[in-house]
Each structure stands twice: as C-alpha cells, then as structure tokens.
C-alpha cells in the first residue's frame, strides 16, 4: 500500500510542477506582452485563467484525498503540506500574469515611458526566483534557494525605485499619471510574485529539513 501511495505522491509532484510551470508561463508571457505592447499575446494569457483554476481545484482535491486515505507522516506529510502551498503560489503567479495582461490592453496604444523603467529587469529577476523555487521543489535541491533573502531584497529595492521614478514622471506631466500608475502596480505585482517564490522556498526548506525558516 505504501508503494501505491508513494507512486501517487510522485504523480502529485509531476502535476504540481505542471501547474507551477503554467503559472510561471502566464506571468512571463504577460510581461513579454507588456514589453512588446502585444494585446493579442496578452489576451492569450487571460484565456488561460480557467485552466489554472481547474488545476488548482483538481490538485487540492488530490492532496485532501491522499491525506484522508493515507494519514501521511513525516516527509510525506511535509511534502503534501508544501505541495498545497506550491499550488496556491502557482495560482497567484498565474493570476498576477492575468492582471498584468489586462493592463497591457489598456496601455498598448502609446509608446512606453522610459522603456518601462526597470520593469523588464525586475521581471527577469522575479521569474528567475520563481524558476529556482519551483526547481527546488521538483529536485529537492536547497542550494537553488539559499540566496533568496538577498534576491528578494533586490526585488524590493527595484519596486521602490520604480515607484520613485514613476512619481517623477507623473510630476513632470499629468498625462503620464495613468500609465505610470500602471507601471507602479505592475512593479507591485512582480514584488508579490517574488514573495510567492519565497513562500515556495520556505516550504521546500520545511519539506526537506522539517525546519521552519522565514525569508524576509
């Protein structure tokens, strides 16, 4: 019976990785659509909203089912606890992708101000964090996430910098207010995505070692 259970856990892991990759893909594609001002690409992200929601429900049910039928303990329990968090974080990544995609539709009529400021660079850093967090979940490799605290600090600093820069452009010309407000919001969403990557990292750490850590 334990063998069947562990096979089920492997399948749960593979399915969760698939969901995490979809969440990451939605976020990456939305940022690309923003950079290229491609409303069609943005619409394709919005269209994936239903799919990621379906995955969330199905995978959570799978977790509850495995808990109810197998009363997992120790590493198995920690794996399922971590998986539930990865599922939630993946949904959030996808949803922030969708929200950014919606912004693309509103601001693709005119050129970007200051080449989107630091948003493309910030997005690269955040998506790298997401990739490493998800890879650490998939491969049990904690080295991928050991510098998350400093990487998260860099992302926070970039958000602050984009906020300051956005305010400057708004003060220069009120016509920039709407566009810069969207930029500031995108920076805020990206910062939240980095926080979700940190949450995944914290839970992978717990899954692997049983120790609770907090990444600031």
Neighbours of 45 (CB within 10 A): 25
Q: Which of 39, 43, 67, 77 binds another protein (CB under 8 A)?
A: 77
Kindly state whether residue 109 participates in binding another protein, applying the rule CB under 8 A: no
2 in contact with another protein (CB under 8 A): yes
Query: Which residue among 40, 68, 71, 111 contacts another protein (CB under 8 A)?
Result: 71
Phi, psi of 98 (to 5 degrees): -65, -40
Total residues found in the chain within this entry: 216
Both tokens of 9, joined, read 């856990």
- In the complex with another protein, the residue whose CB is nearer, 146 or 210, is 210
Choose between 13 and 112: whose C-beta lies nearer to another protein: 13
> Closest approach of Cβ 88 to another protein, in Å?
21
Extract the tokens encoding 175: 């016509």
Determine, following the binding rule CB under 8 A, whether residue 68 of this chain makes contact with another protein: no
CB of 55 to another protein, least distance (A): 26
Contact letters for another protein, residues 176-215 (x by CB under 8 A): ---------------------------------xxx----
Q: Which residue bears the tokens 């690409």?
A: 41
- Find the shortest distance in angstroms from Cβ 212 to another protein: 10
Shorter beta-carbon distance to another protein: residue 3 or 40 = 3
Q: How far is the CB of 133 from another protein (least distance, A)?
A: 21
User: Under the criterion CB under 8 A, does residue 76 sit at the interface with another protein?
Assistant: yes
Which of 40, 50, 73, 174 binds another protein (CB under 8 A)? It is 73
- Is residue 74 within the footprint of another protein (CB under 8 A)? yes
Residue 1 interacts with another protein (CB under 8 A)?
yes
Residues at the interface with another protein (CB under 8 A): 1-2, 5-6, 71-78, 209-211
């Amino acid at each position: 019976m334990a063998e069947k259970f562990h096979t089920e856990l492997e399948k749960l892991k593979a399915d969760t990785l698939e969901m995490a990759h979809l969440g990451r893909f939605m976020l990456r594609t939305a940022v690309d659509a923003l950079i290229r001002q491609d409303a069609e690409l943005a619409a394709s992200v919005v269209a994936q909203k239903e799919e990621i929601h379906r995955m969330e429900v199905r995978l959570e049910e799978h977790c509850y089912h495995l808990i109810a039928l197998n009363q997992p303990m120790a590493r198995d329990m920690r794996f399922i606890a971590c998986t539930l968090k990865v599922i939630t974080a993946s949904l959030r990544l996808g949803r922030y992708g969708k929200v950014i995609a919606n912004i693309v539709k509103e601001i693709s009529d005119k050129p970007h101000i200051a080449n989107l400021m630091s948003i493309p660079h910030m997005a690269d850093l955040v998506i790298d964090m997401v990739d490493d967090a998800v890879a650490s979940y998939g491969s049990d490799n904690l080295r991928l996430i050991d510098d998350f605290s400093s990487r998260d600090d860099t992302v926070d600093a970039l958000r602050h910098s984009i906020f300051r820069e956005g305010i400057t452009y708004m003060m220069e010309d009120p016509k920039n207010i709407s566009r810069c407000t969207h930029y500031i919001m995108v920076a805020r969403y990206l910062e939240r995505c980095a926080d979700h990557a940190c949450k995944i990292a914290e839970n992978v750490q717990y899954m692997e070692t049983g120790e609770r850590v907090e990444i600031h």
